[in-house]
């Protein structure tokens, strides 16, 4: 088994390699002067089981092309099996037609990865589970609930009075998985979208008055929806509101919104490499998913059950 890292998240790739006690495969992944991507694998990979670690986070298109070219280079070097390890799967929010003449970009990306030569995909907390069906190759979707539940238990003396909150109806199953691990109750924020990245809280389902709340979601991008939900929960009588989110995209003015919000803290994983600003934020904390991904990689390489990770 060999590990190859793209440039999207070298820190996470090195942490996964450390967990597996393996060196990263020597390779050049660089740019020509016109920004075209060049990849050269600098060691023999013939007949090897290769795992390419690359999130398609910002800049999404560059990182996606990097992944595709890495897969092509490995295929042409006669690798036995290529697994695309994508801690964060970009374009996942475009998983259906939302109106006339709009694309299903998640399916397009799945096709590109498959056609490039990947034999398997390993990712974490897909925006919607049906994206696994977009691939015609085996796809493992890790869940962060065990990771987040462990962090909550370490940072909260009492979990009995916690209330897990789904920020929208679509995330209820995800939030319920976390609530069941903590033996906590569940509430739901009923939000209405007025446009891409814009939403309004219409209703809160559940009694939040006097409770400590944890919002649980898969992606925080502009953080507008998250901060609006937190403010609505405080207005409804909540004592404090924290947020646990798997993928910290945090684009645009997200950093300032979080810092100036009523959120006690925002906890994210390192599926996306943090900027210097985010890494130094007083309200943002990061939990490593390297051990989870590393263990999944080991199990896939050894032909063992990945689902046992979530028992």
Which segments within the chain are labelled E, that is strand?
2-5, 27-31, 37-41, 49-53, 81-86, 120-124, 139-142, 162-166, 185-195, 198-205, 212-220, 240-248, 266-269, 284-287
**Residue whose C-alpha is closest to residue 57's, from 134, 123, 151:** 123
Q: How far from the centroid of its chain's Cα atoms is residue 144's Cα?
A: 8
User: Is 191 assigned a catalytic role?
Assistant: yes
- State the Cα–Cα distance between residues 285 and 32, nearest whole angstrom: 36
Please state, as a whole number, how many other Cβ atoms lie within 10 Å of the Cβ of residue 109.
24
From the list 30, 191, 283, 308, the catalytic residue is 191
Check: CB of residue 71 under 8 Å from CB of residue 52.
Answer: yes
Q: In what order do the strands lie in the sheet with 49-53?
A: 2-5, 49-53, 81-86, 120-124, 139-142
Check: CB of residue 242 under 8 Å from CB of residue 214.
Answer: yes
**Which residues are marked as active site?**
191
């Amino acid at each position: 088994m060999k590990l190859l890292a793209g440039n999207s998240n070298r820190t996470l790739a090195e942490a996964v390699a450390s967990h597996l006690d393996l060196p990263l495969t020597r390779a050049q992944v660089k740019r020509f002067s016109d920004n075209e991507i060049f990849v050269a694998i600098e060691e023999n990979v013939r007949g090897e089981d290769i795992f390419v670690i690359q999130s398609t986070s910002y800049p999404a298109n560059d990182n996606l092309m990097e992944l595709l070219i890495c897969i092509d280079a490995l295929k042409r070097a006669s690798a036995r099996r290529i697994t695309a390890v994508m801690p964060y799967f970009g374009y996942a929010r475009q998983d259906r037609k939302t109106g006339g003449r709009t694309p299903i970009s998640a399916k397009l990306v799945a096709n590109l990865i498959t056609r490039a030569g990947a034999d398997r995909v390993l990712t974490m907390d897909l925006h919607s589970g049906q994206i696994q069906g977009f691939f015609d190759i085996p796809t493992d979707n890790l869940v962060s609930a065990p990771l987040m539940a462990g962090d909550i238990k370490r940072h909260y003396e009492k979990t009995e009075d916690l209330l897990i909150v789904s920020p929208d109806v679509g995330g209820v199953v995800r939030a319920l998985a976390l609530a069941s691990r903590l033996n906590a109750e569940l509430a739901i924020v009923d939000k209405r979208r007025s446009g891409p990245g814009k939403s309004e809280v219409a209703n809160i389902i559940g009694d939040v008055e006097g409770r400590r709340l944890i919002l649980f979601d898969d992606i925080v991008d502009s953080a507008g929806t998250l901060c609006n939900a937190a403010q609505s929960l405080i207005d409804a009588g909540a004592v404090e509101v924290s947020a646990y989110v798997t993928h910290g995209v945090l684009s645009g003015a997200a950093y300032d919104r979080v810092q100036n919000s009523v959120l006690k803290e925002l906890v994210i994983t390192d599926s996306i490499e943090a900027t210097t600003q985010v890494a130094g934020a007083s309200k943002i904390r990061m939990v490593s998913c390297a051990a989870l991904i590393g263990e999944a990689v080991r199990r896939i390489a050894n032909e063992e059950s990945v689902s046992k990770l979530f028992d």
